[in-house]
Amino acid sequence: MGNIDNVITSFETKQREKQIKNERRLLKEISIKSLKKSVQDHFGNIKINGGMLMDEGFDEACFDVAIEAFLLGGHFSKFGYYGEEVVYVRDRCSNEIHHLTDTLYNFWLYWSRMGFTNSVNDESILYKCEHFVSQWWEEGFEKGKLRRKLRLQ
C-alpha cells in the first residue's frame, strides 16, 4: 500500500512540475511594458491624494492580478485549443475570474478607505477591475492556445 502512495505523490509532484514549467514558458509572453500600459489605461485616471496618479504599490497589486489572470487564461486555453468556445471556457473558471476581480476591487476599496485615492464611491472602479482581469485572462487564453497550436507547450 505504501508504494501506491508514493506513485500518487510522485504523479502529483510531476503534474505540479509540469504546470510550473508551462507557466514559466507562458510568462515569457508578458512584458513589463505591456503590464504598465494596461494599468495606466485602466486605472490611470484615478488620482491618489497629493495629486500623484499612481503609486508603485498600486502597480504591483495590479501586476499580480494581471499575471494570475493571464496564467489562468493560459491554463484553460487547452479547452479552446480542442474547440470549445471561449464563452464556455470562461464559464469553466468563472469563480476564479470573479475572485481575481474581487481581489483587485477590494484592494482599490482599501486604498480608498485609507484616503489614498479620490474614488471612495466610484462604482466604475468595479467595471475597470472586471475589464482589466478579463483582458488579461483573454490575453493568456489566446497566447496559451497559440503556444499549443505551435506545439510550444
Average pLDDT for 56-72: 89
pLDDT at residue number 98: 97
| Residue 49 predicted with pLDDT over 60 | no
d(CA 39, CA 61): 10
- What is the overall mean pLDDT for the chain? 83
Q: How many domains does the chain have?
A: 1
Please identify which residue in the block is written with the cell numbers 494570475: 68
* Residues contacting 49, CB < 8 A, separation 6+: 115, 116, 117, 118
Give 48's strand partners: 117
d(CA 55, CA 70): 22
Distances in whole angstroms, Cα of residue 127 to Cα of each of 88, 102, 104, 116: 21, 11, 11, 20
Question: Of residues 17 and 7, which shows the higher confidence score?
Answer: 17
Here the cell at position 132 is 482589466
Q: Which domain holds residue 67?
A: 2-149
Express each pLDDT in 88-104 by its tens digit: 999 999 999 999 999 99
Residue 117's pLDDT band (cuts 50, 70, 90): low
Average pLDDT for 112-139: 78
